[in-house]
């Protein structure tokens, strides 16, 4: 029990950097703030994502657990820790408990916007490619940000237009549960080169390799 008047213990050093911003992006997508005002939880099916999360915030001495995640109750990795100061900081920049459908703007320093969005992209983003049957030798690819909050998707779209002048287009998924911000070929390439411009930046290597392999088909690269 903490003594009255004592300062709360801090596990996370709050200082903006490329890694820190990337970690916030992961939290926005796959993280959770407990209603108790203290605990932060991060869950991912990929151990590399968990390891990147811990590197982003320089987390040490916390055990990686196992939990059940998603509609099919598949196995996932889980990290949870208590840090009141960090929790309050996350609230101050726009995160809240039960944020999925209500999250909007996130207060990210302009310098680290793309690092933050790389974290969002690794968390709830997707990249896919295919040969378009309508035109011979036409190879298409798309990059997407996905969220249950239209406000958050609109904020990302506006931020990216101001930063790198790409518009994208917004759609709903077939079930109507999520909103997708999609960037097609030309804009997608511009987006991806910006997201991965820092060759030493944290990222999900599996996803980056998938993108590299697809871009090589049309003679492009990150």
Q: Does residue 12 register a pLDDT over 80?
A: yes
Residue predicted with more confidence, 177 or 176? 177
pLDDT of 1 higher than 50: no
Residue 93 within any structural domain of the chain: yes
Does one domain contain both 27 and 89?
Answer: yes
3-state secondary structure of 30: helix
What does the pLDDT read at residue 3?
A: 52
93, 141: one domain: no
Enter the tokens of residue 108. 């990210």
Contact 171, 146 (CB under 8 A): no
Per-residue pLDDT tens digits for 92-102: 999 999 888 88
The whole-angstrom separation of Cα 200 and Cα 198 is 5
Read off the pLDDT of each residue in 164-170 and give the average, rounded to a whole number.
97
For the chain, what's the residue count?
Answer: 222
pLDDT of residue 72: 62
Which structural domain range is residue 186 located in? Answer: 120-217
Q: Has residue 54 been placed in a domain?
A: yes
Instruction: Tell whether 156 and 195 lie within a shared domain.
Output: yes
- Establish if 9 belongs to a structural domain: no
* Claim to verify: residue 158 and residue 207 sit in the same structural domain: yes
What DSSP string runs through 161-189?
HHHH----EEEE-TTSS-EEEEE-HHHHH
CA dist., res. 28 & res. 23, Å (int) = 9
Residues 143 and 208 in one domain: yes
Does the pLDDT value for residue 214 go beyond 90?
A: yes
Residues 125 and 211 in one domain: yes
C-alpha angle 120/126/128, rounded to 5°?
155
Q: State whether residue 60 is helix, strand or coil.
A: coil
Q: The domain spanning residue 22 has which CATH number? A: 3.10.28.10
Cβ–Cβ under 8 Å, residues 143 and 207: no
Q: What are the structure tokens assigned to 85, written together?
A: 């100061």
Question: 153-177: b or e for each residue (b if 16 or more CB lie within 10 Å)?
Answer: bbbbbebbeeeeebebeeeeeeeee
Per-residue pLDDT at 115 exceeds 60: yes
Based on the domain organization, do 177 and 143 belong to the same domain? yes
Question: Is 3 within the bounds of a domain?
Answer: no
- Say how many domains are in the chain: 2
Domain end (from 99, 132, 147): 99
pLDDT surpasses 90 at 64:
yes
């Amino acid at each position: 029990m903490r003594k009255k008047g004592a300062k709360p213990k801090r596990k996370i050093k709050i200082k903006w950097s490329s890694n820190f911003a990337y970690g916030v992006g992961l939290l926005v997508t796959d993280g959770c703030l407990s209603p108790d005002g203290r605990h932060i939880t991060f869950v991912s099916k990929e151990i590399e994502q968990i390891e990147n999360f811990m590197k982003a915030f320089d987390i040490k001495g916390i055990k990686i657990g196992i939990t059940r995640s998603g509609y099919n109750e598949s196995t996932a990795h889980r990290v949870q820790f208590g840090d009141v100061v960090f929790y309050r900081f996350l609230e101050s920049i726009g995160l809240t408990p039960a944020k999925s459908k209500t999250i909007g703007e996130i207060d990210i320093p302009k310098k680290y916007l793309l690092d933050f969005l790389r974290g969002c992209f690794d968390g709830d983003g997707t990249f896919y490619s295919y040969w378009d049957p309508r035109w011979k030798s036409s190879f298409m690819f798309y990059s997407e940000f996905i969220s249950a909050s239209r406000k958050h998707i609109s904020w990302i779209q506006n931020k990216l237009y101001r930063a790198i002048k790409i518009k994208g287009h917004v759609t709903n998924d077939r079930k109507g549960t999520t909103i997708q911000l999609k960037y097609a070929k030309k804009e997608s390439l511009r987006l991806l080169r910006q997201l991965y411009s820092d060759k030493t930046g944290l990222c999900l290597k599996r996803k980056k390799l998938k993108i590299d392999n697809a871009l090589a088909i049309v003679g492009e690269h990150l």
